[in-house]
A and B are shown apart, each in its own frame.
Chain A
């Protein structure tokens, strides 16, 4: 049986400090996060004990491969909702807490946007008059510089990595038809063919099939092997091909369908279904550039198939899987809902993609920008359209073009507000978040798989959390309520 697909999303936001000539994005990001954190709570620093982003899932590090560096000197905070909020390279990054299913992942991804919006407000209070910080939830500056939105999924360590690569690659390439956030133009030279608009922000930036890098020669399947959990039992699949979605349905499908596909891979359910592409890297762009969703992709076995047909095949398999094995790994109720929405989305893409403007980012963005273009008689390379593309992702509610559209919601707005400070109940993030709410002053450091307590007199005490599904509300609520002090908690945990 596939294990529970605990999941999360990390988003690097684009950042601009306005009102100064030259701005340093690292300083601006630090200021932004500090402004928020100092307004909210006592700051608890991240603990880097467990970080090893250079480890490769294939069991080796390729000669000359660039493992990312961990920057310990920058702001790095843990929030009471169990999330991590920090400066990564030159961007503010928000990592959702571990979520038990795709819907919860949408909830915390949206809470992240509101945290960034509140951070901008907080920054205004500490910045000199005339300066402000603006952040964008997108993935490129339109000049060839890209920053990521990464998904993470818990997987059984016993699954051979080769099997994951084989079956997840066609999904990553074909899912672009509903996960794309849309982009005006292209950032790679495409010869004579003009690309007025493409499905995704990220397809321009992938050059390899499989690899460890995330900042250059980006691979479609990333091999970073850092489980942040019991490494004997688990793997964390680090997915770097996705876009930063604004539309809730797009995020929901992105995470929900991918979790389902991974559960099927884990249960070795693909059988005869073989969708290996002849040229994955080229196919990635081909799908993104094809707004008609009709160009065939060549498979390794000589057949041709469109991205949409590929998704239909995966859906057919998933429906059979649901009947045979159940959907416990992705939550029964969420899993059924994802299957229904997946099917209705593919049907709509088949018949009339424009009918999905309330569900998918690329459709919403395309319609808005194309309508503006027609009204004003503009060419696709007009800077106004590029500006609209950027401003679609503006996180300020008053400036965001996305916020003006009446898109379909998956989660309740009040629940998103609650998720700004409250942890998810069904993963270890609950224990992390609650401890921070109660005893931030006694927590010296925190990371994904441990909390370090400082009780003043004794040596620092580390509480390991190697099981992502332990430390839930069901497990620890009674315990936490019964402890008046962190010392009592530690004593209770040891007994």
Chain B
């Protein structure tokens, strides 16, 4: 499928990226999204559960299914 070949990168590039970073690529678009996130992060502290440590420790569930 030609259209697919255009979208796929070569394996060589892929390997190179693995070495460079083990996280989603931080492109320019990614930077912009992060900038947008800043506003959200300002609000988040007001929403977050007050004592994160207690909240995480006390969140205990029984297995299900």
CB distance from A158 to the nearest CB of B (A): 28
- Interface contact A147-B64, CB-CB below 8 Å: yes
Hey, which chain A residues are within 8 Å of B38, CB to CB? 371, 375
B33, A367: Cβ atoms closer than 8 Å: yes
How many residues belonging to A are interface residues under a CB distance threshold of 8 Å? 67
- B43 / chain A contacts, CB cutoff of 8 Å: 404
Partner of A383, one of B17, B25, B52: B52
Structural contact, B64 and A294, CB atoms closer than 8 A: no
A491 to B56, CA, bound (A): 57
Residue among A382, A388, A398 making CB contact with B48, cutoff 8 Å: A388
Q: Is the CB of B65 within 8 A of A404?
A: no
CB pair B61 A68 closer than 8 Å: no
With both chains docked as a complex, state the minimum distance between the C-beta of B12 and any C-beta of chain A, in angstroms: 11
Are B60 and A371 in touch, CB under 8 angstroms? no
Residue of A nearest to B25 (CB): A352
Among B48-63, those with CB < 8 Å from A are 48-49, 52-53, 55-63
**Closest residue on chain B to residue A312 by CB atoms:** B4
Interface residues of A in 377-412 (CB under 8 A from B): 382-384, 386-388, 390-391, 398-399, 401, 404-405
Is the CB–CB distance between A352 and B55 below 8 Å?
no
Q: Tell me, rounded to whole Å, the shortest Cβ–Cβ distance linking A247 to chain B.
A: 15
Q: Find the B residue at minimum CB distance from A148.
A: B65
Name the distance in Å between B6's Cβ and chain A's nearest Cβ. 9
A12 touching B23, Cβ below 8 Å: no
Q: A372–B60 contact, CB under 8 A?
A: no
Question: Which residues does chain A contribute within 8 Å of B4, judged by CB atoms?
Answer: 312, 315-316
Query: What is the bound-complex CA distance between A146 and B65, given in angstroms?
Result: 8
- Residues in A with CB closer than 8 Å to B44 are 372, 388, 401, 404
Q: Contact: B33 with A357, CB < 8 Å?
A: yes
Contact present for A354 and B18 (CB under 8 Å): no
Structural contact, A387 and B22, CB atoms closer than 8 A:
no
Per the bound structure, the CA–CA distance linking A372 and B15 in Å amounts to 29
Given the interface pairs A68-B65, A353-B24, the reply to whether A16 lies near B14 with Cβ below 8 Å is: no
Taking the nearest CB of chain A, how far is it from the CB of B17, in angstroms?
A: 6
Cβ contact within 8 Å between A14 and B53: no
Q: Which of A141, A145, A354, A372 contacts B25 (CB 8 A)?
A: A354
How far apart are the CA atoms of A398 and B48 in the complex, in Å? 11
**B65 x A292 contact (CB < 8 A):** no
> Shortest distance in angstroms between B36's beta carbon and chain A's nearest beta carbon?
9
On whether the beta carbons of B37 and A89 are closer than 8 Å, the reply is no
- B residues less than 8 Å from A391 (CB atoms): 47-49
Residues of A within 8 A of B22 (CB): 290-292
A215 to chain B: which residues have CB within 8 Å? 63-65
A462 to B61, CA, bound (A): 38
- Chain A to chain B: the 9 pairs with minimum beta-carbon distance, closest first: A147-B64, A354-B30, A387-B52, A90-B62, A214-B65, A141-B61, A148-B65, A353-B24, A383-B53
Q: With A371-B37, A383-B52, A398-B47 given, can you name 9 additional A-B contacts, CB distance below 8 Å?
A: A148-B65, A294-B15, A351-B9, A354-B24, A368-B37, A375-B41, A382-B52, A383-B55, A404-B43
Residues of B within 8 A of A (CB): 1, 4, 7-9, 14-15, 17-18, 21-27, 29-30, 33-34, 37-38, 40-41, 43-44, 47-49, 52-53, 55-65
